Amino acid sequence: MTVIDANRMLEIEARYPEYFHRSFRQRFGGLMILIATLLYSLYAVWFFDLPKLFAEAHWERVGIYLSQWVSYDVQPEFRIGDDGSIDIRYPRFSPLGDNPHLDWLVNNPDGSITVSISGTSRTVTVSKSETIVTAHGVSVPVEVSSGAPKVVGPVPGWMTVYDDNVLADLGFAGNVSISVDRVKIRKRFIGWANFIFDTQSFFFDKPVGEVVSLIVSGPRIKPDQSNLSLAFDDIWNNSEWQHGDVWTKLFQTIVMAFLGTLLGSLTAFPLAFLAARNITPNRLLNQILKRFFDFLRSVDMLIWALFLTRAFGPGPLAGSGAIFLTETGTLGKLYSEGLENIDSKPREGIKSTGAQTVLVHRYGIMPQIVPVFVSQTLYQWESNVRGATIIGAVGAGGIGLKLWEAMRTNANWENVAYMVILILIVVFIFDAASNALRHRLMGMKPH
């Protein structure tokens, strides 16, 4: 065992002071950061009043909206006449068309009608005197012959009685609203109704094999148009899903992002040379251009879009202009900082040969900055594809406006899901393409 005397210990401490004489920040820095983070979290909880926010939030709406993203409902209405007859009606734009043939609706011998909401466990039987709702293992009769509907027996927790109607909540499968002279049923199905052909199309509700046979070898439905062309027209002009308009707006969004980013990069590139201190030794000009870049990028793209829609009206021109202004500021700053960080030796070597300024820039600067500039521009373009969707919601054109219109109705959530999926696919494709190009330009292997 080696014994270290006092002199040796002092010598070691003098040689390695960073281990034996640590500052207060080094000793307690991590703990102070942890305490500061905890205090800030507590302050945020108090400032935003998070307990009250979570307590008063309508969490049930999350499930409702998500279910409407992946499903659709059919709403038959049964009107009970004075003579006891039951007339079935559907909304004007029912996903089943004008003459639906329903296997889940049965006409009984006694004149009543039984509707299967979810198999045999959830059914509704409508007759002239009462409506029987079966769910959760019990059957609850509701009399409709008097002045107001009346539940016979105890009222279950999934049924609510109002003054003029009774509402039965059957969960995801649907619900039933019962009044004296009518019964409204909402039955939910998984999937997107009429996504390919709408109810006005000749191909609506036909099996896939029959549709393919008609397109490939069937007789012409319209003498002046092939069946393939007719099918494409019906899909493109689908009145419920509006594929043609959605895809056109999506293409507008891509063009807006590309045009705005391209014009912004072309404008920022020469200005960056004037803003870089090591390229243009004029402090006043450098500061003016840098503050100009700060101004352009400090105003959010959404605000620029609002200004330009007032100036030029709603449309993709305003969206492209908003992206152009924002990208001029962002790329101008990135380009100028990149120029200020280049290696000056190649430029000085070329300058020493007596070459002109243009040649010095071409051979002394460009080889260093082009891969970096292109990489930054591609990243901004990828980001602007997402940004163009947001500014479209304020009238700047593109699919963002279409998405906002669908959300405002609070009823077309399946259309919202369709457009969100399209946007995600486009973003993923552009992200992959941008990453591949960046790695190729930087001489790196893609991960």
Q: What is the DSSP string of 198-249?
A: -TTSTTTT--HHHHHHHHHHSPPSBTTB-HHHHHHHHHHT-TTT-HHHHHHH
Q: Would you state the structure tokens that stand for residue 93, as one six-digit string?
A: 């734009």
In the chain, CATH 1.10.3720.10 covers 243-442
Contact 231, 211 (CB under 8 A): yes
In this prediction, residues 99-117 reach a mean pLDDT of 84
Q: 148 versus 195: which is more confidently predicted? A: 195
Q: Residue 37: what pLDDT?
A: 93
Name the superfamily (CATH) of residues 243-442: MetI-like (1.10.3720.10)
Say yes or no to pLDDT of 22 above 70: no
Largest Cα–Cα distance in the chain?
A: 115
Tell me the two tokens of residue 8: 């040796």
Using one digit for the tens of pLDDT, what is the confidence trace for 275-334?
988 888 888 998 999 999 999 988 888 899 888 888 888 888 888 999 999 999 999 999
Task: Using pLDDT thresholds of 50, 70 and 90, give the confidence band for residue 16.
Answer: low
36 confidence band (pLDDT: 50, 70, 90): very high
pLDDT given for residue 406 in this prediction:
84
Cβ proximity of 332 and 289 under 8 Å: yes
Cα distance between the two ends of the chain: 52
Q: How far is CA 393 from its chain centroid?
A: 12
What value does the mean pLDDT take over residues 415-427?
A: 90
Supply the pLDDT for residue 445: 54
**Mean pLDDT rounded to a whole number for the chain:** 84
H/E element holding 282?
none
Residue type, 21: H
Cα separation, 273 vs 126, whole angstroms: 79
Contacts of 192 (CB under 8 A, 6+ apart): 70, 72, 241, 414, 418
Torsion of the alpha carbons at 144, 150, 152 and 156, rounded to the nearest 10: 120
pLDDT of residue 443 exceeding 90: no
Is the pLDDT assigned to residue 444 strictly greater than 60? no
Q: How confident is the model at residue 83 (pLDDT cuts 50, 70, 90)?
A: confident
State pTM to two decimals: 0.77
**20 pLDDT exceeds 70?**
no
Residue 127, SS3 per DSSP: coil
| Average pLDDT over every residue of 128-138 | 88
pLDDT digits 0-9 by tens, 357-391: 777 777 777 777 888 888 888 888 888 888 888 88
